[in-house]
Amino acid sequence: MRNPQATTVQTDAARRRRNRRHLAIALALLLLLVAAAATALYWTVSTQGEAAVAAMSDADRRWFAKVETLHGGMSYADVEALLGEPDREDIAGVRPTWAVDGSPLNQIAVYFWEGRAVKVRWIKVGHFVYEKVLR
């Protein structure tokens, strides 16, 4: 006949080992996630200006051709006619954003001041940041 107390001790020990194993797996996944986010952030902010243009894909370059035609003083309607309807607008309407090819990680924002375009910022997470003051 088995000793019920011995079985309980063995079960508790097995449960503790399993809990430690689950904790170790969760910590490893968390570290992996933090490392991936840090790498994406590094590549995003380290590629700017001409390097950003060089890092663009063919689809990005098609959007870039449109962005390059933006100039300071354009009205909201002019920008919308060029880039299409924005995918998201802020409450004040001073920073609409367009998702490039529908990607939430690849967006163009045009900043308006007193109803006129003044700056464009394009962030493709993990790839580049392109920013231009419109003149």
Residue pLDDT, tens place only, 39-60: 888 888 888 889 999 999 999 9
User: Are 11 and 36 in the same domain?
Assistant: yes
Which of 21 and 41 is assigned the larger pLDDT? 21
Integer Rg of the chain from CA = 25
The pLDDT value recorded for residue 24 is 93
Read off the CATH number of the domain in which 86 is found: 3.30.1450
User: Are 118 and 52 in the same domain?
Assistant: yes
Answer whether residue 3 shows pLDDT above 80: no
Give the number of domains in the chain: 2
Domain interval for residue 33: 1-46
Q: How far apart are CA 61 and CA 106, in angstroms?
A: 13
Record the pTM.
0.75
Q: How far apart are CA 100 and CA 124, in angstroms?
A: 9
User: Are 8 and 60 in the same domain?
Assistant: no
User: Are 36 and 52 in the same domain?
Assistant: no
Q: Which amino acid is at 64?
A: F
Alpha helices in 47-131 (DSSP H): 50-54, 58-68, 76-83
User: Are 119 and 67 in the same domain?
Assistant: yes
